[in-house]
Every structure is written in structure tokens, then in C-alpha cells.
Amino acid sequence: MNDSALELLLDNHDIKPTANRFLVARTLHDAEQPLSLLELEAIIGTVDKSTILRTLNLFRENHLVHVIEGGDGCVRYEICQSHHHDEDEDAHLHFFCEKCGQTICLSDKHIPQIELPDGYITHSANFMIKGLCPKCAKKIH
């Protein structure tokens, strides 16, 4: 994604594109997997943890990131590929490898619709599968 497309993405989610917000969004977009706050801080290096956390909270409130409760108890973040700033049609499964600790997006596997009893209102859903990734599974056999 080029800079103008990333700026448009922020704008489409009603987020003013400051330098720090742009940097956090760029880092999340370029990552091959969801990232934790500490991972973001280590990759970015020039922005403090509290600024990154405030940015992530703003992104979450404006449906620009998914918040994933990881298999290791750590919260991770990824750019939402939804086409709507107030709806998320990009909810998908994630896989946590218990050996290497990676959280992997299964973008083509969508979270199934669950019919809840009357009166319940869903705000979000997480679907985490735990096991061994193909690379770690090969090492065992």
C-alpha cells in the first residue's frame, strides 16, 4: 500500500493522519502477522509505548484494527481489511502455534455466524485455533 492509499485509509476511518498514526498504521499494514504492543514498540523504535497504545485505541474505536486475544495471553493488533469504517466484514480465524509462538491470520477462513439467544448484542468475536504450524509440525515428524 503506497502512502497516499494509507492516508486515504486513515481518512476513510475518520482518523486524522498524523506522523505517529501513519507510522503505526504502516507498521501494522506491512507486518506479516498480528503484532503486540511490545512488538510494535520494538519495530518502530522512535515512538513511546503510551503514544502507540493511544493510537491503537483510536484505531480500534474507528474500526481500523482488529484486536486479537492471542493464544499466549497477549493482545495483538492487525489492520482491518473491511471496506466499511463502521462495520467489519473482515472477521476471520487466527491460529496460534504453541511451539514457535506465532499468531497467524487465516484471512480466507471467516468466523462463522453464531445465533445468540434473544437479548444478546455482539460487538466483536475472536476465534483462535491453537496447535502447531506447518513448519513446527514438520520438525516433529
Calpha distance 49→55 (Å, rounded):
10
What's the pLDDT score for residue 87?
A: 52
> What torsion, rounded to 10 degrees, do the Cα atoms 9, 29, 95, 86 define?
-10
What's the pLDDT score for residue 114?
A: 85
DSSP β-bridge partners for residue 96? 103, 130
What's the pLDDT score for residue 2?
A: 87
Q: Where are the domains of the chain?
A: 3-140
pLDDT along the chain (141 residues), means of 10: 89 92 95 91 94 96 86 84 55 87 85 89 82 91 67
What's the pLDDT score for residue 86?
A: 52
Q: What are phi and psi of 129, to 5 degrees?
A: -105, 135
Q: What are phi and psi of 28, to 5 degrees?
A: -65, -40
Contact 78, 47 (CB under 8 A): no
What's the pLDDT score for residue 120?
A: 93
Assign 57 to helix, strand or coil. helix
- The CATH architecture that domain 3-140 belongs to is Orthogonal Bundle (1.10)
